Amino acid sequence: MATYTPNYQLYQWIPEDKFLRTDFNEDFSKINTALKAAEGAAEAGDQKVLGQAQAWASAAQSAASTAQITADRALADLEPVSYNVYNLMLQNYYDGKVTGWKKALFFDGFRDQSGIASLNSMNWDGPNRSLLLDAVGQQQSSVAFGCDYTFMLSTNNKIGLDWTASGNGTLTKVETYIQGSGTLVISKGGQELVCTPIAQSQLKGIASVTVNMPIEVGVTYRFEVHSGSSTITVSVAHSSYNMGVRLSFTPKVGTAGSMVSVAVSPGVTAQRAVAWVRHLNGTASLSLQIGGSWISMTRTATRTTVNSDGTSCTESAFTLERGLSGSLTTRLSFSTSAGKSVRVYDYGVILM
């Protein structure tokens, strides 16, 4: 008597059974049908899993895109806020107020040279609180030069005036109205640079001295005439002065220059930097030194604005999209054409 397997009813023979071909065919047919059904179920299951995985991946990608859009919008909204904070800090700085520790923000308005590491073909112009790329050079300058008012300089006495350079160059000649003989002394910060005889015999005549002295923009020089053992008659164009001079120069001109800042350590890790530079004339570029390499920031816009004194100027904006951390150094570079000097009023960098 035949017996069968419990699941698919396959024949189970006992020793006395006779084997029939039809029994085997029937069993293999059942096995084939069961295997095909199992294969179909497996494929359906794989497609379902794949479909679910793709749905999850699509949802994740959509969420990531939404998050990126939100982050970009947040950064875009944060930039004008940051700009306003930057301007407020600058105004406090110019007003002489304590700004405190400026985390993720550094700037300089060039009131002094403490933030400057080096200058290349540019000068710090202290009296004008700015940097100057001098594309004009020092031109001839006169201070009270004339003979409308005359007085006597007694023996062993001296007269003088202070003069501040507005450009770069070499002083080649000094002229003044005197009668008599004495000594012309030129000094800077108490250091004597020139000491040479000066003389002229006619009343209200021009005494001329040839010199060869480099001068720098923003630096104040002292010009004096010492009378020595004889009196000198001195003539000036304005009664408020006791000495008048006419100064001649060979101008020194530059059309490209740069400033490298002192390194700062903001103590933050940022993904983006934005910067603004206010300047008169020229084309500005800005780079950050990160890990020993200079990375150029992208100039994104320029607009007409005013500096802290209300003088019309250009504001150039820059951005850099990359990770930022550790010590940072700024390099400001400018180019211009001959005869059109560049003056840099301030700059600031914000890490976001």
Residue 7 has φ and ψ, to the nearest 5°, of: -90, -50
pLDDT of residue 60: 59
pLDDT at 22 over 80: no
Task: Write down the pLDDT at residue 83.
Answer: 77
Is the pLDDT score of 101 beyond 60?
no
Q: What is the DSSP string of 88-157?
A: HHHHHHHTT------TTEEEE--SSSTTEEEEES-EEEGGGTEEEE-SS-PPPEEES-SSSEEEEE-TT-
Torsion over CA: 304, 216, 348, 283 (sign): positive
**Does the CA dihedral 172-178-181-184 come out positive or negative?**
negative
In the chain, % of residues over pLDDT 90: 60
Secondary structure of the chain: what % helix, strand, coil (to 5)?
A: 20, 45, 30
Check pLDDT > 90 for residue 104.
no
pLDDT digits (tens, 9 = 90+) for 52-97: 766 666 765 766 665 555 555 555 555 666 676 777 777 777 777 6
* pLDDT tens readout for residues 324-343: 888 899 999 999 998 999 99
Give the pLDDT score at 114. Answer: 94
- 8 A C-beta contact, residue 158 and residue 243: no
- Indicate if the alpha-carbon torsion angle 214, 198, 160, 141 is positive or negative: negative
pTM over 0.75: no
Instruction: Give 164-200 pLDDT, tens digit per residue.
Output: 999 999 999 999 999 999 999 999 999 999 999 999 9
